[in-house]
């Protein structure tokens, strides 16, 4: 049987046309089952990037962002591990709930916005990709990224707000992708976070990987904590639960750890202090961009809603500072680049900026805390 796989403005027999268009999932569940990544041919990332750029030819070009070299005088005998953290903005929320009053609905059109997201991922070529607010996992990200060589994992929220939106594409959740040529999966845990002993709507994925090149183990985790003001204690409890889970998985910091997430918490919040002061000896990688190495960036999200302008630092990449070095980090967009209407926009697909870091293992694997 031939499945209709949605519309695309891309050329000829397009890779992008093989991903379902918005709203098609419920109509084509049988097609999803046929999208077995093991049976699909690999994609050349250059070809996919070219197709994305054809779809986006009427939009402004990508913003230029540069990596900041943070490497000290320590030498590394292995290729760095590039980790990308990004809340990509759930399509259903962007169109139906978030009320970005300065963003035209045309800028949120999925057929083009997905290409902006893919273009950003393809530009930075992460070895590990951690995403939040993914509501097009099965019809877009899993079929495409698996063909780019990534192993893919998705854990949806139990009660996703996307499901309240008419013509939604299913629940949103956290997703993790790693390059199979670089890493072997040792263990994987889907964690439903608790707060005050109650199961919550927020989730995390934690995977222990083995680096083929070095033979070293490390744990990578992705999460998205509860949003909105007034929920600070709730986020704190979720953070404590996540840290406890990660302590167990890393055997009390014996295994190096990287935690990516939209914490929905400024650095002044308790949950931030919990991660900073944890026995896992974590540091926030983007602090290293500041002159003194002690301050977070001024913002990782910037949007305008009916209630006013929101500029906050909510997104982080935490890492085991005793076992890992941050070689470089991707600089943030400037206020001038973001523009007066803020995010999302025709230029940028999400209200959150992507964070990208290059890590290397400490050369003394026995030196811990």
The pLDDT value recorded for residue 7 is: 40
pLDDT tops 80 at residue 22: no
SS3 label, residue 263 = coil
- The residues facing 301 across adjacent strands are 312, 352
The pLDDT value recorded for residue 262 is: 98
Which token pair is 278?
Answer: 């944890």
Distance CA 114, CA 108 (A): 9
Q: Do 172 and 181 contact (CB within 8 A), yes or no? A: no
Our separate counts of H helices and E strands in the chain read 8, 15
Instruction: From 175, 192, 83, 95, select the one nearest 137 (Cα to Cα).
Output: 175
Residue-wise pLDDT tens digits, 301-352:
999 999 899 999 999 999 999 999 999 999 999 999 999 999 999 999 999 9
Number of residues in the chain: 369
Residue-wise pLDDT tens digits, 262-272:
999 999 999 99
Q: Do 256 and 219 contact (CB within 8 A), yes or no? A: yes
Residue 225 pLDDT class (50, 70, 90 cuts): very high
Residue-wise pLDDT tens digits, 72-91:
766 677 899 999 999 999 99
Instruction: From 261, 96, 92, select the one nearest 168 (Cα to Cα).
Output: 92
Instruction: From 114, 120, 115, select the one nearest 134 (Cα to Cα).
Output: 114
Among 11-25, 132-146, 218-232, the range scoring the smallest mean pLDDT is 11-25
Residue 36 pLDDT class (50, 70, 90 cuts): low
CA end-to-end distance (rounded Å), the chain: 58
CATH level 2 (architecture), domain 79-364: 4-Layer Sandwich (3.60)
Annotate 163-181 with three-state secondary structure. Answer: HHCCCCCCCCEEEEEEECC
Vertex 116: Cα angle to 165 and 307 (nearest 5): 50
User: Where do we find the tokens 């509860």?
Assistant: 226
Kindly compute the dihedral angle of the four CA atoms of residues 264, 266, 269, 273, in this order, to the nearest 10 degrees.
100
The pLDDT value recorded for residue 40 is: 77
What are the φ/ψ torsions at residue 224 (nearest 5 degrees)?
-150, 105
Which token pair is 227?
Answer: 């949003």
Residue 67 pLDDT class (50, 70, 90 cuts): very high
Ranges of H-type helices in the chain? 29-34, 45-55, 91-96, 110-124, 142-147, 232-249, 270-276, 335-338
Measuring CA to CA, how many Å separate 15 from each of 45, 143, 148, 173? 11, 10, 12, 24
Residue-wise pLDDT tens digits, 145-202:
999 999 999 999 999 999 999 999 999 999 999 999 999 999 999 999 999 899 999 9
Among 16-25, 246-255, 284-293, 350-359, the range scoring the smallest mean pLDDT is 16-25
């Amino acid at each position: 049987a031939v499945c209709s796989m949605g519309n695309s403005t891309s050329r000829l027999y397009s890779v992008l046309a093989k991903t379902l268009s918005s709203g098609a999932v419920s109509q084509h569940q049988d097609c999803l089952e046929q999208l077995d990544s093991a049976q699909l041919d690999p994609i050349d990332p250059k070809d996919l990037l070219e197709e994305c750029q054809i779809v986006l030819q009427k939009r402004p070009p990508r913003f230029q962002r540069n990596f900041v070299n943070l490497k000290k005088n320590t030498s590394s005998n292995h290729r760095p591990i590039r980790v990308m953290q990004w809340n990509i903005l759930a399509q259903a929320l962007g169109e139906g709930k978030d009320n970005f009053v300065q963003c035209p609905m045309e800028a949120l059109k999925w057929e083009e916005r997905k290409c902006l997201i893919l273009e950003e991922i393809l530009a930075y070529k992460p070895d590990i990709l951690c995403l939040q607010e993914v509501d097009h996992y099965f019809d877009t990200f899993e079929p495409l990224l698996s063909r780019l060589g990534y192993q893919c994992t998705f854990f949806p929220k139990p009660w996703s707000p996307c499901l309240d939106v008419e013509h939604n594409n299913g629940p949103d959740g956290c997703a993790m992708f790693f390059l199979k040529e670089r890493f072997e999966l040792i263990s994987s845990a889907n964690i439903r976070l608790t707060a005050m002993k109650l199961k919550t709507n927020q989730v995390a994925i934690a995977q222990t990987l083995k680096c083929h090149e070095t033979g070293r183990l490390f744990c990578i985790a992705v999460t998205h904590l509860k949003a909105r003001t007034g929920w600070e204690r709730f986020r704190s409890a979720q953070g404590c639960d996540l840290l406890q889970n990660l302590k167990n998985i890393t055997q009390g910091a014996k295994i190096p750890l990287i935690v990516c997430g939209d914490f929905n918490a400024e650095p002044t919040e308790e949950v931030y202090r919990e991660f900073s002061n944890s026995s896992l000896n974590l540091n926030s990688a983007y602090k290293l961009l500041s002159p003194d190495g002690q301050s977070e960036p001024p913002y990782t999200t910037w949007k305008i809603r009916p209630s006013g302008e929101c500029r906050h630092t909510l997104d982080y990449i935490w890492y085991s500072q005793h076992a890992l070095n941050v070689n470089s980090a991707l600089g943030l967009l400037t206020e001038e680049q973001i523009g007066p209407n803020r995010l999302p926009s025709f230029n940028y697909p999400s209200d959150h900026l992507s964070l990208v870091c290059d890590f290397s293992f400490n050369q003394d694997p026995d030196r811990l805390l």
